[in-house]
Amino acid sequence: MQLRLEPRAVTSSAMQYASPLIAAGMTVIAGVLLFGALGTDPISALYMFFIRPLTSVYGVSEWLLKATPLLLCALGLMVGFRANVWNIGAEGQLTFGAICGGGVALAFWGNEGVWTLPLMLVAGALGGMAWGAIPAFLKNHFNANEILTSLMLTYVAVQVLGYLVHGPWRSPEGFNFPETRMFGDAAQLTPLVDGTRLHSGIFIALLALAAVWIFLSKSFLGFKVSVAGQAPAAAAYAGFSRKGIVWLSLLLSGALAGLAGIIEVAGTIQQLQSVISPGYGFAAIIVAFLGRLHPFGILMASLLMSLMYLGGESLQMNLNLPLAVTGVFQGLLLFFVLGSDVLIRYRVRLVRDDERKAGA
């Protein structure tokens, strides 16, 4: 006897939209088993993970704050994934965008003006775009796998950031800590609500959401992206340039990730440090798939993923559980999302030995 996956004749569109909810439910069930294995009351742990972070104004503000970079990175990745361009390096593009935008703040430190912050945002987007252009160039000219090149460039960007904050950009007033000067007031995104860190970067993310939705649903270029991913042969027959799609996908995703990076350092951290992101660029991959590669689905998925970051911190502070629980939940969520997608597209069939031999 042998188990075999066979393609389904018809794929249920209803199940495609229901699968993220099913995956989330399965993740909660797995969480109950996990907390039970750790010797923790599952009900209390789930309350601390999903509910407690949202019981205060500060908690809600942190929830929205963490959703902002996730949303920006996932929107860019979504465009590439729709075109079968697999950018896995949003974390590096976020980091390099933060470096470029932060460099502007440091270059004009003490001489800032109303123009400083817009210039930082542009520099951050261009920095992420430049970092995304490297795997695009390697893909188009040398057929290098963009998964590997974009991923490896992430670690290069982290090393560049480490060199700068340990060396030439290290703050002279920082007591030798690997960090830059605090940005000037004109180079910071000011909080929207007193007593919180929530800033206007959330509005930039929502504008990006609307722009990407219009691009994909209303523009001919967005139509070309969708066709290139769903029907490559038809796209080639229509004369759509595959190289152009690769450039567009990686440049756009790099720009949005770079924008997320400079928003993070200008609004949340307000300086460059050796660690900028807790893994937003990687978590955005899960967000993109959980949101079914749709802008508004990604908005909801980014809110769920940001809640997981807060939930991990809540468990660590209140129940003394390791912060790694956040990564476990993210991994479980991705596992169940991908598993649901497989079962939507394929059915599991038990094949007898004699039937298998006859088919061979």
Residue 166 inside a domain? The answer is yes
Q: Which pLDDT value is given to residue 325?
A: 87
- Report the mean per-residue pLDDT for the chain: 92
Q: Is residue 334 part of a domain?
A: no
Confirm whether 303 is domain-assigned.
Answer: no
Residue 350 in domain: no
Residue 166 is part of which domain span? 69-294
Residue 331 within a domain: no
**Count of domains forming the chain:** 1
pLDDT digits (tens, 9 = 90+) for 283-295: 999 999 999 999 9
Query: Can you read off the two tokens belonging to residue 257?
Result: 């990730």
pLDDT value, residue 176? 85
pLDDT at site 230 = 87
Q: Are 333 and 290 in contact (CB under 8 A)?
A: yes
Question: What pLDDT is recorded for position 355?
Answer: 59
Task: Please report whether residue 89 resides in a domain.
Answer: yes
- What are 193-226's pLDDT values in tens digits? 888 999 999 999 999 999 999 999 999 999 999 9
Average pLDDT for 313-319: 90
Alpha helix (H) ranges present in the chain? 13-37, 42-46, 57-82, 90-107, 116-142, 146-166, 201-218, 220-230, 232-237, 242-263, 280-290, 295-319, 325-345, 353-359
| 296 exposure class (CB count in 10 Å sphere: 0-12, 13-18, 19+) | exposed
For residue 88, being part of any structural domain is answered with yes
Residue 312 inside a domain? The answer is: no
Three-point CA angle 6, 9, 13, nearest 5°: 110
The residues, any chain, with a CB within 8 Å of residue 246's CB and separated by 6 or more, are 83, 85, 136, 139, 140, 146
pLDDT of residue 44: 92
